Amino acid sequence: MIEDDVTDAIAKAKITHILFLPCERIRLLLKNLSERFHSIPLSREEEGVGISAGLYMAGKKPLMVIQSSGFGNMVNALMSLSRAYRFPLPMLVSWRGVHGEKISAQKPMGEKIRALLDVLEIPYIVFDGKNLSDLENMILRAYEEEKITAVLLRPDIWSSCPEFYFEPREYRTPEIMLKGGKAKFTRFEILRGIKDYLEGKIVVSNLGYPSRELYAVLDQPTNFYMLGSMGLATSIALGLNLAGKDVVSVDGDGSVLMNTSTIFTAGLVSERGLKIVVIDNSAYGSTGNQKSAAVRADLAFTGISAGLNTLRAFTPDEIGLALKAEKSSFIHVPAKPGNAKVGLIPHTAEEIKIRFMEAIR
């Protein structure tokens, strides 16, 4: 069957991890891939870009499998993360909206995706079921040239497959016991206070002032500083974690609100050793301290809902204690708004990546 042939071609390209969102047309292919490779089910395409970056920096070779209608959800991340840092990212794209598509909402993106790939300068091929060597070569090209590549999978060539069913879970609402209180420190004061806990650790820091402040407090090769792609700090950290690394994600309320799905993906697939430190000042600090929706929300419930070991900490010592937990953890840290007067990070995106990869491998 064609699904077996494609799976074999992907294996020949030495792919280690499959990151995917479902598509009805290729569900048998996805079943095959999930059985043969480390598979990571995504909640949104954009988070897969970050997870793939983390996996790659830790020495793995991820492949994303998505639907053409979801391609638009990842365009900024592809440009500001994959392109900016030169992360390879091969994608298999289930090409909807063409070849007798019956769902009208699939047609606009399906009809324009080739033009969109051209504008973004992403090399691609159309897979018709026969050009398996071209499919394999497009995956290999991504890693050889450190670029994004795409394979459009024609929708009319796949085998039929029955729907999948599973037993629903039983819900039991946990008794919630979290420390209460009021923010005592700014983000900079918190980072300065946990400096000793972060020294020597793999740390992924949110873009803007969080990265700038971390650089001023503790610059080390094992810090991955984000320069763009808001919302993907924890996604990148999760990718590193899935490659066997102990990682601290220094995230923020605005970032978590923008990409909450990754917290739930982390709750589903993370290994021991992922610590998500959400410094919540209820503001968009890097753009002028405008209020975020966190002024009315309790972000700790995000970690609880995702099934992560969830703690709340108000002081550096409390954060340090939480970082010692054996389980993957979501650490909610209320903070006062405000930014320290620190300079820019004097490294390009590629310099940050190369230094980081050399330090963690």
Tell me the C-alpha distance between 61 and 289, whole Å: 38
Name the β-bridge partners of 291: 283
Q: Tell me, what's the pLDDT at 302?
A: 95
Q: Tell me, what's the pLDDT at 289?
A: 83
Q: Are strands 283-284 and 290-291 parallel, antiparallel or unpaired?
A: antiparallel
Q: Is 92 helix (H, G, I), strand (E, B) or coil?
A: strand
Burial 119-148 (b: 16+ CB within 10 A, else e): eeebebeebeeeeeeebbbbbbbbbeebbb
Residue tagged 């890693």 (tokens): 143
Q: Are the C-beta atoms of 55 and 238 separated by less than 8 Å? A: no
Classified by CATH at the fold level, domain 187-360 comes out as Rossmann fold (3.40.50)
Instruction: Compute φ and ψ for 236, nearest 5 degrees.
Output: -60, -45
The residue ranges of every structural domain in the chain are 2-153, 187-360
Q: Tell me, what's the pLDDT at 288?
A: 82
Tell me the C-alpha distance between 9 and 342, whole Å: 49
Burial class (CB in 10 A: 0-12, 13-18, 19+), 76: middle
Q: Are the C-beta atoms of 210 and 256 separated by less than 8 Å? A: no
List, for residues 33-42, the tens digit of each pLDDT value: 999 999 999 9
Residue tagged 């949104």 (tokens): 44
Per-residue pLDDT 10s for the chain (361 aa) are 899 999 999 999 999 999 999 999 999 999 999 999 999 999 999 999 999 999 999 999 999 999 999 999 999 999 999 999 999 999 999 999 998 888 999 999 999 999 999 999 999 999 999 999 999 999 999 999 999 999 999 999 998 888 888 899 898 877 888 989 999 999 999 999 999 999 999 999 999 999 999 999 999 999 999 999 999 999 999 999 999 999 999 999 999 999 999 999 999 999 889 999 999 998 887 788 899 999 999 999 999 999 999 999 999 999 999 999 889 999 999 999 999 999 999 999 999 999 999 999 8
Map 11-75 to HEC letters.
HHCCCCEEEECCCHHHHHHHHHHHHHCEEEECCCHHHHHHHHHHHHHCCCCEEEEEEHHHHHHHH
Strand order, beta sheet including 148-153: 38-41, 17-20, 62-67, 89-94, 148-153, 124-127
187-360 and 2-153 share a CATH fold: yes
Q: Is 110 helix (H, G, I), strand (E, B) or coil?
A: helix
Q: Tell me, what's the pLDDT at 265?
A: 97
Q: Tell me, what's the pLDDT at 181?
A: 93
Q: Tell me, what's the pLDDT at 120?
A: 98
Q: With residue 349 as reference, give the H or E element that holds it.
A: helix 349-360
The first and second tokens of residue 216, run together, are 């001023």
Q: Tell me, what's the pLDDT at 284?
A: 87
Q: Are the C-beta atoms of 330 and 279 separated by less than 8 Å? A: no
Q: Tell me, what's the pLDDT at 226?
A: 96
Q: Are the C-beta atoms of 283 and 337 separated by less than 8 Å? A: yes
Classified by CATH at the fold level, domain 2-153 comes out as Rossmann fold (3.40.50)
Q: Tell me, what's the pLDDT at 230?
A: 93
